[in-house]
Amino acid sequence: MIQIVPFIPLNTKDINEEQERLGYQAWIAQLSRVLDSSDATFANEFAENVALHEFVCDVLQSQIDDIPVDAHLTKLVFLLFVRAGQTIRSGNHLAASPLVSVDQLSTFAVVYSSSNVIAVQELFYSFLSGDSRLLGSFRNIVSFLMECVRQLATDHVKPTQESLERSYTLVRLLNAIVSATAKMHDVFEHSELENTLFDSYGRLSPVLEDVANDTTLGPYVYLIKLELVSTFNTLMDMLFFRRLGFFSGVDHEMLKKLSADVDFKEVDATVDEFSERLLSLIETSGLEQKRQAFTDAPLIMDWEIEYNIGEKIGMLNRTLLDGEDERMEFLRLSMEQVRGTNIGEKTWKEKIKRHKAEIMHVPAPAATVTSVDEATDVPDIVEKISEVQELFPDYGTGFIEACLKANSNQVETVIMQLLDNTLPPSVADLDRSMERQVTEYVPETSTEESVLKTRRNIFDNDEFDLFSRQPIDSNKIHLGKKNRGVTETLLNDSSFMAEQKKNVLERIYNMYEDEYDDTYDDVDNATGLEATEEGGDALDTVRAKKAPAVDPGIVYESELVHAFIDTPDIFARSSAARKSTKRAEMRKHTNMTDEQLEGWAIMFNRNPRKQRILDKYMLFDGQQTEVSAEVSSHQQQQSQSSKKQHSRPPRSASKEKAFREKNKARFGNHNRKKMHDKKLNKAGMGANQTTS
């Protein structure tokens, strides 16, 4: 067995700097030796080495207790579990190791799941898929944690700091385990977890109102809510986003693409299920009035505020469905409306950032801990290369940069490809020790030279540029106007006359070249001639353009309002309502889809002018099918009298031909005269100016 020096946290009393340095070197060397061993030796060490077990447990527990741990040590511990997962996938069993237990794996999930989501999920999948006993233990612990979460805030007694700390530990552990077991779909019941989160979240709002002004207890409630929101986001990742090929990474502002391909056959079914689930949650969240995020707001609003779900849905619509899916667009608008009901966010987040160490002990994610030398500002690509190289120190920076470029700079994707040896073909055969080619920066010799090289003005490289250090011909400098002599001398100057002729011809050419060609201006509004009924002058007819699209919700507002009052069930968002005959008749009559009808009902129910619209249409009950006989007969008499006044016997064929022959010049010149006037108007000359 490889001897491992017991772990002692840094800055421990009775330990001087020299002892700390020697201990650190010993730990690095011993862990590296374990990692570099053969598969059989590593499996034996991981399963049987008691000193290694104690060392790993002490490192993980120190991070849980917010005790500083060197970043390199935490990475080596993480790599031990990565190597263990690879060993299990290769056929070796490590179930006998104390490190492969519910307690240690739960601690590992809390420490690393927030910074290495994909890697932790792959590891848990390797550990749990081959050990039914361990899988059953995790099912039990998740059920126990959900029961504890359901007991949060069951009474209205003001909570104590101890109870809030305990509650925060529970929800934090639940969030870590749910995130780590995301690839195992049978660890917990999805609907049960969703109901647990929504019920407990609603009971926490009165607690936060009671301790809102308490600077010690208030942040605890905020952190508990934040963990519950994160757990719900992980659940939505499992159910929908991952099925569409995306997931929420460490920076959860936007979704990140998974390396696996998407099965487009399931996209439509996934979107339909996601739409129905999300709209149902919005309806049952009670958002009829304004709420304040993370104070008295429901879970669905805080999820939108924290994770920008509306923007993510819009991105999915553009990426997967070319932005044309009505369901996704309606979901995006619905989430924007949820965000619009927020009246402001509480300042707990900024308070915790400023006083995190004083308020409570919350350990920072291990992978984000950096040394003093690494804390300087560096370009984004250098930071990502550093993240990957922390886990793979033997690989060159040039090789890692090539892998990042081949995967759109996605760090998690590159790490998983390196772990599973599934790199893209473009980088799979590269030298893994290749270094980056960095251009050396050579400083300028003097400030004056640097300024002259970078300046940009009208005198650059000009013969009169004073900074070009070239002699200037004084004969080319004139004060005032150049003396060209008398007029005869100027006219006898052949070079001057040739230059002027060239300028005149160029201006004439440019004038004709830039003239606007309006030949095809009226293609869409083609004019024609149509004789009047009396046989008088011909009239221009203009082809009607296509009418703009009109919202069917406005055109059929009366029918929709009456149907909403009489039979509101036809607007329900359910399969039974969509299959009903009344819904089919409404779709056929209004040419609206099911989503449009259901969306219209939701928006009409929330419309502040709802009562005014009801008053408007309730004056007419919609039962009249025809006008009265008196009105009908009066309209018929008016129509007949109008026809009599304007009717006259038609011309014969010979008279019609003679009329057109007599007036053909007027008909033929009509359009030419119109276009002539149009061109004169564009040139700034009206009809009055031409005659004058």
Rounded to whole angstroms, the Cα distance separating 154 from 169 reads 18
Does one domain contain both 283 and 357?
Answer: yes
Number of independent structural domains in the chain:
3
Q: How do beta strands 342-345 and 291-293 pair? A: parallel
Cα distances (Å, whole numbers) of residue 130 to 41, 88, 430, 536: 21, 8, 34, 95
Using one digit for the tens of pLDDT, what is the confidence trace for 173-199? 999 999 888 888 778 888 888 888 888
606 and 661 co-located in one domain = no
**Could you give the CA distance from residue 273 to residue 275 in angstroms, rounded to a whole number?**
5
Last residue of a domain, one of 564, 590, 618: 618
CA atoms within 13 A on the CB side of 321: 19
**Where do we find the tokens 């001897």?**
3
Q: Is 193 within a domain?
A: yes
**Is 328 domain-assigned?**
yes
Amino acid code (one letter) for 656: E
According to the model, what pLDDT value does residue 533 have?
45
Beta strands in 127-175 (DSSP E): none
Whether residues 185 and 292 fall in one domain: yes
Dist. CA 668–CA 687, nearest whole Å? 21
In a shared domain, residues 350 and 219: yes
Residue 35 · residue 83 · CB < 8 Å:
yes
> How many other β-carbons are positioned within 10 Å of the β-carbon of residue 659?
14
Indicate if 659 and 605 belong to the same structural domain: no
CA atoms within 13 A on the CB side of 30: 20
Q: Confirm whether 672 is domain-assigned.
A: yes
User: Both tokens of residue 107?
Assistant: 């601690």
> Which stretches of the chain drop beneath a pLDDT of 70?
10-14, 95, 153-157, 212, 249-253, 259-262, 344-380, 437-472, 475-476, 478-486, 511-549, 618-649, 664-671, 684-692
| Cα–Cα distance for residue pair 592/301, rounded to 1 Å | 29
Give DSSP secondary structure letters for 13-52.
TT--HHHHHHHHHHHHHHHHHHHTS-HHHHHHHHHH-HHH
Assigned domain for 61 exists: no
* The residue to which tokens 């950096």 are assigned: 370
Residue 55 falls inside a structural domain:
no
Range of the domain at 671: 655-692
Whether residue 662 sits in one domain with residue 597? no
Instruction: Tell me, yes or no, whether 161 and 257 share the same domain.
Output: yes
CA distances to 123, 200, 306, 406 from 410, rounded to whole Å, are 19, 35, 22, 9
Same domain, 586 and 683: no
- Give a yes or no: residue 2 inside a domain: no
Q: Is the domain of 257 the same as that of 179? A: yes
Domain boundary among 347, 367, 387: 367
Amino acid 373: pLDDT: 35
Give the pLDDT confidence of 102-156 residue by residue, as tens digits. Answer: 888 888 888 888 777 888 888 888 888 878 888 888 889 888 988 888 887 665 5
- Per the CB < 8 A criterion, the answer to whether 339 and 290 are in contact is no
Assigned domain for 437 exists: no
**DSSP H helical segments within 407-456, as ranges?**
411-420, 425-428, 447-454
pLDDT at 295 (0 to 100): 79
User: Beta-carbon neighbour count of residue 627 at 10 Å?
Assistant: 9
In a shared domain, residues 558 and 692: no
For residue 454, the SS3 value is: helix
Quote the CA–CA distance of 58 and 52 in Å, as a whole number: 10
Distance (Å, whole) CA 656 – CA 535: 8
Predicted local distance difference test score (pLDDT) of residue 378 = 39
Question: Domain boundary at 349, 367, 385, which?
Answer: 367
Asked if residue 302 lies in contact with residue 225, where contact means CB atoms within 8 angstroms, the answer is yes
Does 173 lie in the same domain as 294?
A: yes
Which is nearest to 674 in space by CA: 544, 518, 513? Answer: 518
Looking at the domain assignment, is residue 192 inside a domain? yes
Same domain, 677 and 572: no
Dihedral over alpha carbons 444, 446, 449, 453 (to 10 degrees): 30
